[in-house]
């Protein structure tokens, strides 16, 4: 299987722009509206001012509402296999973890310990429909985008490793390229990657047609009517 690769200049750009801009840029490359590979609903971000989470997904499923039914040695062994999987893959990588108890998740997998461990293993951040906690103690440099904030670790244990996951309505397979920030997360389709940097520039320049005049002290409805036609003609 070919290794996932992202050019450094594109990676740096993606870290600097927000996820709504990337979503719009994907539609520019595709030449139409309707892109829908993104999360639904409001999520919680551990470090709202941090750069965007960008990387190739390392997937798993966890549970914590009830004790595991398998023997303890199997659960312990699977947890180590989970960490080995998280430490694998082509950098940059992002943990994308489905809590199968959602929307009744209680298990704070993403707390001080696991953030430190995953950051130490080289991952760039995490996206989950599950719970995060220990907010004041979480390391910088590893943002978490979570379904909720909680207190308990419950009976948290790993259920599956490397399988397709669903996080807040977003289907993610192992190795998918993720972009996420406090707005939510999306999967960047491989076929748009070559044109994505230019499309981001297009989105930003198109919006500047409106934003510059709108922020001028002399802006009025007549000026809006004049520039809106140009804006409509250029945007996707």
Q: Please report whether residue 210 resides in a domain.
A: yes
Q: Please report whether residue 1 resides in a domain.
A: no
Cβ atoms 186, 170 nearer than 8 A:
yes
Instruction: Note whether 114 and 131 are same-domain residues.
Output: yes
Instruction: Note whether 183 and 92 are same-domain residues.
Output: yes
Instruction: Note whether 176 and 201 are same-domain residues.
Output: no
Q: Please report whether residue 129 resides in a domain.
A: yes
Cα–Cα distance between 133 and 111 in angstroms, integer?
5
Instruction: Note whether 183 and 117 are same-domain residues.
Output: yes
* Cα four-point dihedral sign 174, 180, 184, 186: negative
Cβ atoms 99, 128 nearer than 8 A:
yes
CATH number at 70 reads 3.50.30.40
pLDDT tens digit at each of 236 positions of the chain: 456 889 999 999 999 999 999 999 999 999 999 999 999 999 999 999 999 999 999 999 999 999 999 999 999 999 999 999 999 999 999 999 999 999 999 999 999 999 999 999 999 999 999 999 999 999 999 999 999 999 999 999 999 999 999 999 999 999 999 999 999 999 999 999 999 999 999 999 999 999 999 999 999 999 999 999 888 888 76
Range of the domain at 75: 37-188
| H or E element, residue 148 | strand 148-149
189: alpha, beta or left? (left if phi > 0; alpha if psi -120 to 50): beta
Instruction: Note whether 217 and 141 are same-domain residues.
Output: no
Instruction: Note whether 167 and 207 are same-domain residues.
Output: no
Rounded to two decimals, the pTM is 0.94
Q: pLDDT value at position 4?
A: 85
Q: Please report whether residue 52 resides in a domain.
A: yes
The domain boundary residue, chosen from 169, 188, 207: 188
Instruction: Note whether 220 and 122 are same-domain residues.
Output: no
Q: Please report whether residue 3 resides in a domain.
A: no
Instruction: Note whether 180 and 209 are same-domain residues.
Output: no
Instruction: Note whether 69 and 184 are same-domain residues.
Output: yes
Q: pLDDT value at position 67?
A: 97
**How much is the CA Rg of the chain, to the nearest whole Å?**
20
Instruction: Note whether 146 and 164 are same-domain residues.
Output: yes
Place of tokens 């919680």: 44
* Cα four-point dihedral sign 74, 75, 76, 78: positive
Q: Please report whether residue 100 resides in a domain.
A: yes
Instruction: Note whether 44 and 153 are same-domain residues.
Output: yes
Domains of the chain: total:
2
Q: pLDDT value at position 183?
A: 98
Instruction: Note whether 118 and 166 are same-domain residues.
Output: yes
């Amino acid at each position: 299987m070919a290794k996932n690769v992202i050019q450094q200049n594109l990676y740096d750009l993606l870290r600097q722009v927000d996820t709504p801009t990337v979503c719009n840029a994907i539609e520019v490359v595709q030449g139409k509206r309707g892109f829908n590979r993104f999360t639904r609903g409001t999520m919680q971000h551990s470090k709202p001012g941090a750069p965007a989470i960008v990387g190739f997904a390392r997937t798993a499923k966890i549970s914590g509402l009830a004790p595991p039914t398998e023997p303890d040695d199997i659960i312990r062994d699977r947890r180590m296999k989970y960490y080995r999987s998280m430490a694998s893959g082509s950098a940059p990588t992002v943990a994308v973890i489905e809590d199968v108890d959602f929307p009744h998740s209680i298990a704070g997998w993403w707390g001080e310990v696991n953030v430190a461990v995953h950051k130490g293993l080289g991952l760039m951040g995490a996206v989950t429909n599950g719970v995060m906690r220990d907010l004041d103690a979480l390391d910088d440099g590893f943002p978490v985008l979570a379904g909720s904030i909680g207190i308990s670790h419950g009976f948290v244990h790993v259920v599956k490793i490397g399988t397709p996951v669903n996080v807040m309505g977003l289907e993610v397979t192992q190795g998918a390229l993720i972009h996420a920030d406090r707005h939510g997360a999306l999967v960047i389709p491989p076929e748009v990657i070559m044109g994505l940097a230019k499309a981001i520039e297009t989105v930003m320049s198109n919006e500047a047609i409106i934003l510059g005049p709108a922020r001028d002290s002399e802006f009025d409805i007549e000026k809006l009517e004049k520039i809106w036609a140009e804006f409509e003609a250029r945007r996707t």
